[in-house]
Structure 1
Amino acid sequence: MQRSRRAAIAACMFLAIAASPGVSLAQTADELYASGVKARQAQHFDEAADLLKRALALKPGNADVLVQLGFAELGRNDLPAAREAFSGALSLAPAYQDASFGLAEVEFRSGNLDAALPLAESVVRAEPGNADAAALVETIRKAKQAAAGSKVKPAPAAAVPAKKAPPRRADPVAGLMQQGRRLRAAGKLPEAEQAYRRALRLAPKNTDILV
């Protein structure tokens, strides 16, 4: 009788502990994985990462768990942890498109556009109907174009050379008058007269020529 009573008390205590908030029975890797995926989809990324890490501890080398963990880490913006998870999944399953997409997202957010683009393009080739991958490819291409455009500096405008003033022409009238004076001083009066006449034809109103 005493033994039966003790067994009943122990059973009640076990049930009470199991029903207490925050206390749960041991979960399998599959249960932890399912709970982790559900938490990630609800955007409870910290909880999801914890559950998926526990699942991975029970089932190491599981590509599905690694991919889900990668997306949970992306949700927490822990890019190094996400890269490690996606890379681990691809090392186990190189054709795992979700892992390639996740790694492309990591590289894009890290600013590694040259690494991100081929990863995203490979997903589009493998899954032509993957709208998320197609959108990521377009976003990466636009980012690359913007980056290339910002590096091209416009050529400086060619300096317009200042227009030079045309050379000032010598005054022919003054030259002829000076020539006439020299000829007259030299006693060559006919030649001097011809020089004066030519100057007078060029400037008939210049009375200085007649002096």
Structure 2
Amino acid sequence: MEEGRRSRAAGQLPEAENAYRRALRLAPKNTDILVAIGLVAGSQQKFDHAGQFFDQALAIRPRLLGARLGKVRLAIWQGDVPRARAMIDDVLGTAPDNVEAMALDARISLLEQDYTRAEQSFQRVLAVDSHNAEALVGIGDLRRARGDDFAAREAYRQALAIEPGSADIVQRLAAPPPRKWRLDLGSEVSDLTAG
């Protein structure tokens, strides 16, 4: 499990998946391993496999929060925002103070372009856990969506200080600022050319 966590943190997802699969062979009913493999598989866009691992974990423990949140992430990765919203609202109904659930609520609100709700949820996460890199990345994404690239980069730098070497955060910092469109129109009339 530790080898899988290290590989995942370093962005080495196939290696992480292999480590988790070795762990699963040793403990096939371990729901933590099933959820970890599901997250790694989903991160690699192996959505069917990810869903199967989350479902296996839920078959063992039907209300397992990690697997339920994994299914929310899976819906986000697949671009199914309405399904993600319905699932996260269900999770928040039973675990309203769960930091990961609040962060996912904020991420979904960002996708829905409900920037006010997204910011409130990200701030709630940071009030509970000021070193939550996911919330700081979310704040950066929110600021970038609002057109403030300088403030976005500051949030990404704070997140990178918490999770040094995170490939995801480094990629966001390396992205060029979004282009703002500009259209200039002009017209001239000259007596030299007789109109």
Give the alignment's TM-score, normalised by structure 2. Answer: 0.52
Correspondent of 2:170 among 134, 137, 157: 134
Matched, 1:33 2:50: no
The one-letter code sitting in structure 1 at the alignment partner of 2:130 is P
1:72 is aligned to 108
Equivalent residues, number: 119
In our comparison, the structure showing a higher alpha carbon Rg is 1
Deviation at 1:42, TM superposition (A): 2.0
Identity %: 17
Query: What is the correspondence of 1:1-211 to structure 2 with a 5 Å cutoff?
Result: 28=63, 30=65, 32-139=68-175, 142-143=176-177
Give the alignment's TM-score, normalised by structure 1. Answer: 0.49
Cα distance in 1 for partners of 2:106, 2:88 equals 10
- For the structure 1 residues 60 and 121, does the alpha-carbon distance in structure 2 shift closer, same or farther, using more than 3 Å as the test? same
Contact 1:45 1:73 in 2 (8 A): no
- For the structure 1 residues 132 and 86, does the alpha-carbon distance in structure 2 shift closer, same or farther, using more than 3 Å as the test? same
Deviation at 1:97, TM superposition (A): 0.5
Contact 2:136 2:155 in 1 (8 A): yes
Bigger mean CA deviation after superposition, 62-71 or 127-136: 127-136
2:8 is aligned to none
Contact 1:55 1:65 in 2 (8 A): yes
Deviation at 1:32, TM superposition (A): 4.3
Alignment gaps of 5+ in structure 1:
1-26, 151-211
Contact 1:90 1:99 in 2 (8 A): yes
Question: RMSD between aligned alpha carbons?
Answer: 2.6
The one-letter code sitting in structure 2 at the alignment partner of 1:135 is Q
Cα distance in 2 for partners of 1:85, 1:54 equals 16
SS in 1 for 2:177: helix
Alignment gaps of 5+ in structure 2:
1-61, 183-195
Cα distance in 2 for partners of 1:45, 1:57 equals 18
After superposing on structure 2, the runs of 4+ consecutive aligned residues of structure 1 that deviate more than 4 Å are none
